[in-house]
């Protein structure tokens, strides 16, 4: 919700010049009702001059009269002003000089009691840097021996609401990470089971085809002999063949088998070499 310009000065003017309730003024100016009551009692904003929101066209007289007639109604800025009124940017946290020496104690307390907080969250709560946080965590801080964990809320460095909000954010982040890890683990297990079931049919035995190795010419040549090619020479029988052999030997002619001349050794080697070359 857009706030008026100079909210505290506007609250002073509304308290002095209208009959609006403290709750209505507080809701319009973005203050606490007790603070508005303190303004009315003169305990707060004693030196602040009231700022007229009607003169600055932030609100109309009719809008104030409408809310004065109905205590449950709430003031609204004019549409033209609401477009240009932007909320303030959140500035870096300012830590008083008297509290700065207590920041390492607050960092140590947060690291001990809320390990889920990130360095960025701790730096925003305490108003320090990540280098200081790492030094306190690693016990390399220049004053590490004197650091004692203390609650940052009790020593006035941050508020309880801010700390609770940071803790809730860290817990939501942790729960989201756990859910993501659980889903990833379940998907990994289902994928592994599917891969195993798909691999089962492929485990059937496959017939192995064995091709005979071609016989090398040297092995083929070494395995051939004259006897394996032409058979063993027949022994001459007694009787006619024995007489013929004796006659042939006596006449000096070569001995024949079956009436044909045997091949010489050179001819047999020629035949053998031709067959091996083929």
* Domain enclosing residue 264, as ranges: 217-226+252-278
- 204-230 confidence digits (pLDDT tens): 455 555 555 555 555 555 555 656 655
Report which of 112, 87, 107, 111 is spatially closest to residue 95, judged by C-alpha positions: 107
What integer is the mean pLDDT of 102-131?
A: 93
239 lies in some domain: no
State the pLDDT confidence band at 80, using cuts at 50, 70 and 90.
low
Answer yes or no: is pLDDT of 42 > 80.
yes
Higher model confidence: residue 29 or residue 211? Answer: 29
Residue 18's CB is within 10 A of a number of other CB atoms, namely 15
> Where a domain ends, among 127, 147, 162?
162
Q: What is the pLDDT of residue 218?
A: 54
In which band, very low, low, confident or very high, does the pLDDT at 49 lie, cut at 50, 70 and 90?
confident
Question: Phi and psi dihedrals of 257, rounded to 5?
Answer: -125, 115
Task: Please check whether residues 11 and 80 belong to one and the same domain.
Answer: yes
Does residue 247 have a pLDDT over 50? Answer: no
Is residue 152 a part of any domain in this protein? yes
pLDDT exceeds 50 at position 246: no
Count structural domains, the chain. 3
- Residue 62 falls inside a structural domain: yes
In a domain, 193, yes or no: no
**Cα-based angle 208, 210, 212 (whole degrees, multiple of 5):** 180
Write down the pLDDT at residue 58.
85
- Mean pLDDT in the chain? 76
Q: Tell me what the mean pLDDT of segment 7-21 comes to.
A: 90
Please check whether residues 107 and 157 belong to one and the same domain: yes
Whole-number percent of the chain with pLDDT over 70: 66
Q: What is the pLDDT of residue 240?
A: 44
What does the chain come to in residues?
A: 278
Count CB atoms within 10 A of the CB of residue 58. 24
Instruction: Give the model confidence (pLDDT) of 128-176 as tens digits.
Output: 999 999 999 999 999 999 999 999 988 888 888 889 999 999 999 999 9
**Quick check: 187 pLDDT over 60?**
yes
Residues 11 and 55 in one domain: yes
Residues 106 and 57 in one domain: no
Residue 34 token pair? 């007790």
pLDDT for residue 226: 57
**H helices of the chain, where?**
7-17, 22-29, 33-41, 61-69, 79-84, 97-100, 103-113, 119-126, 130-137, 160-199, 217-223, 226-230, 240-251, 265-277
Last residue of a domain, one of 84, 116, 145: 84
Is residue 104 located within the same domain as residue 79?
no
Same domain membership, residue 62 and residue 40: yes
- 11 and 78 together in one domain: yes
Contact 180, 186 (CB under 8 A): no
């Amino acid at each position: 919700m857009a706030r008026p310009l100079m909210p505290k000065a506007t609250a002073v003017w509304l308290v002095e010049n209208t009959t609006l309730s403290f709750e209505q003024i507080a809701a319009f100016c973005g203050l606490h009702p007790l603070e508005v009551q303190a303004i009315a009692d003169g305990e707060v904003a004693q030196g602040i001059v009231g700022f007229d929101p009607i003169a600055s066209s932030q609100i109309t007289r009719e809008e104030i009269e409408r809310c004065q007639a109905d205590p449950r109604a709430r003031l609204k800025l004019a549409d033209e002003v609401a477009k240009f009124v932007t909320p303030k940017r959140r500035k870096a946290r300012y830590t008083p000089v008297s509290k700065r020496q207590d920041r390492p104690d607050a960092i140590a307390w947060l690291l001990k009691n809320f390990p889920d907080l990130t360095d960025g969250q701790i730096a925003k709560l305490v108003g320090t840097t990540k280098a200081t946080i790492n030094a306190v965590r690693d016990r390399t801080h220049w004053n590490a021996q004197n650091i004692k964990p203390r609650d940052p809320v009790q020593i006035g460095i941050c508020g309880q609401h801010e700390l609770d909000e940071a803790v809730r954010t860290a817990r939501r982040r942790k729960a989201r990470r756990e859910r993501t890890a659980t889903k990833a683990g379940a998907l990994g297990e289902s994928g592994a089971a599917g891969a195993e079931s798909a691999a089962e049919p492929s485990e059937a035995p496959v017939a192995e085809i064995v091709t005979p190795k071609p016989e090398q010419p040297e092995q083929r040549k070494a395995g051939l002999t004259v006897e394996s090619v032409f058979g063993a020479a027949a022994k001459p029988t007694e009787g006619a063949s024995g007489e013929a052999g004796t006659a042939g030997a006596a006449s000096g002619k070569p001995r024949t088998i079956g009436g044909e001349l045997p091949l010489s050794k050179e001819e047999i080697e020629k035949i053998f070499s031709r067959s091996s070359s083929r």
